[in-house]
């Protein structure tokens, strides 16, 4: 079958592959557009696999927010260069993936590459993006948060490389529309992004992390010459100070000079809106700060 320029153009617009690749695909598939798309997809997967070992230190955090303010999804997508990360095609992929994650509601430990979105897996979409950009693309961490009464607030840094979502729960469903609540929420999300707490409260910090940290303090006290009988008490005191640095509610509020704790600001907001407000969820994702989930693409 004769391959026309119009056919090549149509295939290129559909796949973002090069002109010569499109012409070759159509030739190999005797002009069958669907088979040619599959041919390029397979080739794209092969190319992606060869890129799999290349470092992906750049990227974008995709963000999706529901219109009612009660749901948010964040997804980390990594690439090799900032040039690709800044393209509209890459950014649109990240935000669309965040929407797909929200709608699919996968388990927290799910492999996103296996997620089926509109008839295609995330792995196929990722491989196609890798083929069109010429870079190794990896899917990293993700989160999905919802609330029945209250709001899930989100912030994405101006460089798109970091984002936070925080869940605020209330007893009254109308509280989220109160100006005092919205002002507090807007500042809280900035505080969380800047202060990077490990957990909402000290009780929620992984006991293994706490034990390791206490051992560090015991060793420091011993090295400073403190009596052995006092080491545990000294380490406990140092641990309490450490909690104030890493537990959100005990952190000093960073959005003004009041020196008040986050829990004090929360209590003031609750009093202002006459409702019981709790911080019930928190996720912070920054490019390069966490392990990438993706397995290598298969040849």
Same domain, 43 and 63: no
Could you tell me what percentage of the chain is helix, strand and coil, using 3-state DSSP and rounding each to the nearest 5?
A: 50, 20, 30
pLDDT digits (tens, 9 = 90+) for 169-198: 999 989 999 999 999 999 999 999 999 999
Confidence of residue 46 (pLDDT cuts 50, 70, 90): very low
Same domain, 63 and 144: yes
Same domain, 97 and 140: yes
- Asked whether the predicted pLDDT for residue 43 surpasses 70, the reply is no
Q: What are the E-state strand segments in 21-149?
A: 58-65, 71-79, 116-117, 120-121, 138-146
Q: CATH number of the domain that 78 lies in?
A: 3.30.479.20
Same domain, 38 and 62: no
Domain count, the chain: 3
- Is 66 in contact with 90 (CB distance < 8 Å)? no
Same domain, 44 and 71: no
pLDDT digits (tens, 9 = 90+) for 83-116: 999 999 999 999 999 999 999 999 999 999 999 9
Domain that holds residue 161: 58-173+282-286
Confidence of residue 147 (pLDDT cuts 50, 70, 90): very high
Same domain, 151 and 241: no
Same domain, 83 and 148: yes
Q: Is 233 left (phi over 0), alpha (psi -120 to 50) or beta?
A: alpha
Same domain, 37 and 70: no
Q: CATH number of the domain that 274 lies in?
A: 1.10.286.20
């Amino acid at each position: 079958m004769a391959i026309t320029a119009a056919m090549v153009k149509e295939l290129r617009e559909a796949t973002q592959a090069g002109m010569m690749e499109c012409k070759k695909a159509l030739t190999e598939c005797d002009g069958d557009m669907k088979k040619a798309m599959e041919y390029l997809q397979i080739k794209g997967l092969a190319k992606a696999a060869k890129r799999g070992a290349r470092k992906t230190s750049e990227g974008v955090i995709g963000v999706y927010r529901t219109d009612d303010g009660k749901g948010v999804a964040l997804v980390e997508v990594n690439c090799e260069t900032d040039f690709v990360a800044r393209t509209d095609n890459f950014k649109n992929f990240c935000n669309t993936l965040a929407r797909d994650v929200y709608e699919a509601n996968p388990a927290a430990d799910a492999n996103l590459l296996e997620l089926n979105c509109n008839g295609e897996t995330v792995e196929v979409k990722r491989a196609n993006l890798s083929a069109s950009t010429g870079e190794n693309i990896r899917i990293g961490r993700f989160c999905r948060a919802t609330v029945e009464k209250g709001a899930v607030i989100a912030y994405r840094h101006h460089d798109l490389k970091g984002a936070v979502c925080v869940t605020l729960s209330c007893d009254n469903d109308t509280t989220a529309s109160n100006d005092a609540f919205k002002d507090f929420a807007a500042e809280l999300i900035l505080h969380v992004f800047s202060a990077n707490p490990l957990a909402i409260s000290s009780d929620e910090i992984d006991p293994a992390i706490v034990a390791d940290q206490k051992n560090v303090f015991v060793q420091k006290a011993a090295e400073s010459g403190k009596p052995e009988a006092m080491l545990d008490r000294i380490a406990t005191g140092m641990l309490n100070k450490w909690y104030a640095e890493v537990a959100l509610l005990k952190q000093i509020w960073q959005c003004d000079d009041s020196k008040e704790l986050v829990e004090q600001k929360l209590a003031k907001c609750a009093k202002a809106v006459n409702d019981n407000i709790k911080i019930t969820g928190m996720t912070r994702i920054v490019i390069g700060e966490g392990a990438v989930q993706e397995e290598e693409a298969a040849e």
